[in-house]
Amino acid sequence: MRKNKFKLIISILVAVLIILAGCIAIIYVGKKTLDEKTAQINELQYEIDSNKQVVYVAKKDISAGETLVVDENIMKQEIYTGLETDYYLPDESVGGVAVLDIRALEPIMSDMVTTLQVQQDTREYEIAVANLMTDQEEYDYVDVRVMFPTGEDYTVLSKKPVHNLIRDNCVFYSYLTEDEILRMASATIDAYTVTGTYIYTTRYVEPNLQEESVPNYVVRPEVIDLINSDPNILSIAKETLNLEARINLEQRLIGLSEDTLKAVSEGHGIADTAKRSAQLGVQYSANSEDSAEITDEAATENTEAATEGSSEETTTP
């Protein structure tokens, strides 16, 4: 009897120990799991807090070409993002122009906006002599180029925004500095006085990623003189002021045959304002940088007429 009682006590003690061990194990595992979950929550909270940023967002729908103004069409708002701060619109770019449509409350990325660099001599300028792309669009960024009948192709204007586009008339407006205006005027005269010379635009594929090209068009000597004496010009690309390069170009143009000039003109479908010739109006000595001599009265008259009527004669939609 006493022996059975002892066995019962032992059995109860073993059961209690097993239960206690189970409870301890449960508590240990539970605490470990709880600690792990707490650590995960803290880690996620830290990640969330570290990705909290105050950025500019669109206050309303913004159309491409609109100027970004605080409290008018943009505002600051706190968002959660995994992107670096540099991806979003910085304070110094406020006042720039949207290059694409932005929806209301959409965070504004830095590549959605371009900053117009306005210099002292920047002016809005009508470009009516360039042959536009058939699908040219408002707010495109383009180079204006000139191609001569020799096949030589030069950049006249680099990375210019297209504004107030009238595609049917091949007219748009852009912002040009004084030296760019003179380069454009020189290219216009070339297009008028050299048969087969073609002014046209090329569009940037990704204007936010692509750097602007370097203008390399060599201007006419008359324009070089004007540039050198013009106090409005702040900076000039030296590549465009190479008199020797211009002399060599004109010698190559004068050497072209009438048949070649005609073929190039008809191939481009442009008006032959120079009557199948290269009426440059002046001749220069390749070994001298002296002032040019006027060699032909008719050529002089043609050059003067060019300044008055080039935009209507050379433009072809």
- Separation between Cα atoms, residue 74 and residue 105, nearest integer Å: 9
297 and 229 share one domain:
yes
89 and 139 share one domain:
no
Q: How many independent structural domains does the chain possess?
A: 2
Phi-psi category of residue 139: left, alpha or beta, with phi > 0 → left and psi -120 to 50 → alpha = left
108 and 237 share one domain:
no
Boundary (domain end) residue, out of 114, 142, 163 = 114
- What is residue 231's predicted lDDT score, i.e. its pLDDT? 66
Regarding predicted confidence, which is higher, 200 or 231? 200
128 and 103 share one domain:
no
Q: Which of 16-25, 75-84, 170-179 has the lowest mean pLDDT?
A: 16-25
142 and 285 share one domain:
yes
How high is the mean pLDDT of the chain? 79
* CATH number of the CATH domain containing 73: 3.90.1210.10
* Max avg pLDDT among 104-118, 138-152, 207-221: 138-152
Residue 16 lies in a domain: no
Regarding predicted confidence, which is higher, 281 or 191? 191
185 and 129 share one domain:
yes
108 and 216 share one domain:
no
- What is residue 206's predicted lDDT score, i.e. its pLDDT? 82
Residue 13 lies in a domain: no
Mean predicted confidence (pLDDT) in 40-65: 85
> pLDDT tens digit string along 119-177?
777 888 999 999 999 899 988 899 999 999 999 999 999 999 898 999 888 899 999 99
- Contact present, 65 and 138 (Cβ < 8 Å): yes
92 and 137 share one domain:
no
217 and 277 share one domain:
yes
Residue 23 lies in a domain: no
- What is residue 60's predicted lDDT score, i.e. its pLDDT? 93
Residue 258 lies in a domain: yes
74 and 204 share one domain:
no
61 and 131 share one domain:
no
Q: Which domain holds residue 85?
A: 52-114
Regarding predicted confidence, which is higher, 138 or 117? 138
- Contact present, 253 and 149 (Cβ < 8 Å): yes
Mean predicted confidence (pLDDT) in 9-21: 82
- Contact present, 88 and 55 (Cβ < 8 Å): yes
Residue 262 lies in a domain: yes
- Separation between Cα atoms, residue 27 and residue 82, nearest integer Å: 38
> Percent of the chain scored above 70 by pLDDT?
82
Mean predicted confidence (pLDDT) in 97-114: 88
Residue 183 lies in a domain: yes
- What is residue 214's predicted lDDT score, i.e. its pLDDT? 92
222 and 263 share one domain:
yes
Residue 81 lies in a domain: yes
